[in-house]
Amino acid sequence: MLRIRPKQIGLAPGSLVHVGDRPEEPSRLSMMAYDSETLSEAVDVSVEACLQQRGASGVTWVNLDGVHDIPRLEALGTGFGLHSLALEDILNTDHRPKCEDFETSFLLILKMLFFDSETERVRSEQVSLVFGAGYVLTFQERQGDVFDAVRARLRRQGSRTRERGADYLAYALVDSIVDSYYHILERLGDSLADLEEAMTDQPTRDELTRIHQLKGEMTLIRRAIWPLRDLVSGLQRDESTLVSEGTRIYLRDLYDHTIQVMDTVEIYRESLANLLDLYLSSVSQRTNEVMRVLTIMATLFIPLTFIVGVYGMNFDHMPELHWRYGYGMVWGVMLVGTGAMVGYFKRKDWF
């Protein structure tokens, strides 16, 4: 997931080549057009219908699921006057999140994060968003997104989203993506808490693998979130007339949210580092304890075994063997020696 995909060397810049996994489902175009009074919704529309709607008053939101459908993408791009480099960025689904000002429109590249319950891994999908005067275009890799709540608000007449322009709609869409990060982070927070609890018992290799995996996912998430801060603050401070004063206040709020998400990611990363330290220390400590047990046992019994070995020898002339109390004396020596050892270990705090 963290790998870089090669582009074709030598392609002229602006060449439209899809970079990324190609889903099998066909692309789908849908559209919502609204002003404060009216709302029209259409699914599986043609590019022409979208372009026609654009001329009308109000806001037109066109959503394309499946950017790998290059002809459709190109037709939309031509219709809405996008630069060929913008289309190239939209097609490169490994692109870094960014905000670019094309004077008559803004291009935002974002990452949606999903928790894939099959693989138990976090999965990322690129969402590109273009907005200009009176229109918003969104481009997604696959069907299924986090925009349903925005759609619901659009359908409710009198909602703030309906009252305001394309810039507010763009803000609302970005906001719902940032919202979805909270869900991912909550899940990872649960994993972390589980891990921390498991660590209080004897840690095993499983915990180690889990820490390693979570670290990898944090790297992925960070990669998606870090550029977001610059993106939002760039949009907020931009002097373009495409973003109205009223929307800027909401962007400031959005900025706060991205900061909070980043803070949380950093705290989780720190916690993971702490857990790894704890893991390593625990293993060292346990090795030490195991060694102590071994050493005590070996140190107590190896000399005793030697002593009894001595009197197991078969020499013809071993006077001790014939003494009346020889056997008892050996026991005595061994008990005294063992006692001394135990005392030594006690003094060294080994028990």
Judged by CB under 8 A, which of 124, 143, 233, 260 binds its own copies? Answer: 260
Interatomic CA distance for residues 126 and 145, integer angstroms? 11
Find, among 180, 262, 198, 187, the residue nearest to 225 by Cα.
262
- Cβ nearer to its own copies, comparing 21 with 270: 270
Q: Does 282 bind its own copies (CB under 8 A)?
A: yes
**Are the beta carbons of 62 and 29 closer than 8 angstroms?**
yes
Q: Does 186 bind its own copies (CB under 8 A)?
A: yes
Q: Does 253 bind its own copies (CB under 8 A)?
A: yes
SS3 breakdown of the chain: % helix, strand, coil, rounded to 5? 55, 15, 25
* Residue with tokens 């760039």, as numbered in its chain: 234
With a CB cutoff of 8 Å and minimum separation 6, the contacts of 308 are: 330, 334
Q: Does 299 bind its own copies (CB under 8 A)?
A: yes
**Are the beta carbons of 70 and 64 closer than 8 angstroms?**
no
Q: Does 217 bind its own copies (CB under 8 A)?
A: no
Q: Which two tokens stand for residue 14?
A: 């602006």
Q: Closest distance between its own copies and the C-beta of residue 199, in Å? A: 9
Number of Cβ within 10 Å of residue 184's Cβ equals 21
Q: Does 146 bind its own copies (CB under 8 A)?
A: yes
How many residues in the shown chain lie near its own copies by CB under 8 A? 120
Interatomic CA distance for residues 181 and 232, integer angstroms? 15
Judged by CB under 8 A, which of 18, 28, 83, 155 binds its own copies? Answer: 83
Q: Which two tokens stand for residue 201?
A: 């018992």
What does the DSSP 8-state code read for residue 322?
G
Distance of CA 147 to the CA centre of its chain: 20
- Cβ nearer to its own copies, comparing 75 with 278: 278
Q: Does 330 bind its own copies (CB under 8 A)?
A: yes
- Cβ nearer to its own copies, comparing 16 with 45: 16
Interatomic CA distance for residues 127 and 125, integer angstroms? 7
Residue range at the interface with its own copies (CB under 8 A); choices 29-37, 40-48, 124-132, 316-324: 316-324
Find, among 165, 169, 113, the residue nearest to 138 by Cα.
169
Residues 94-133 that bind its own copies (CB under 8 A): 94-96, 98, 100
Residues 20-79 that bind its own copies (CB under 8 A): none
Judged by CB under 8 A, which of 17, 49, 149, 340 binds its own copies? Answer: 149
Q: Does 185 bind its own copies (CB under 8 A)?
A: yes
CA torsion sign for 268, 4, 17, 230 is positive
Q: Does 327 bind its own copies (CB under 8 A)?
A: yes
Judged by CB under 8 A, which of 36, 52, 287, 340 binds its own copies? Answer: 287
Q: Does 212 bind its own copies (CB under 8 A)?
A: yes
Q: Does 9 bind its own copies (CB under 8 A)?
A: yes
Q: Does 193 bind its own copies (CB under 8 A)?
A: yes
- Cβ nearer to its own copies, comparing 49 with 308: 308
Q: Closest distance between its own copies and the C-beta of residue 168, in Å? A: 10
Q: Closest distance between its own copies and the C-beta of residue 224, in Å? A: 11
Judged by CB under 8 A, which of 223, 233, 234, 236 binds its own copies? Answer: 223
- Cβ nearer to its own copies, comparing 135 with 268: 268
Q: Does 351 bind its own copies (CB under 8 A)?
A: no
Beta strands 105-116 and 121-132, pairing class: antiparallel
Distances (CA, A) of 220 to 206, 225, 237: 21, 9, 27
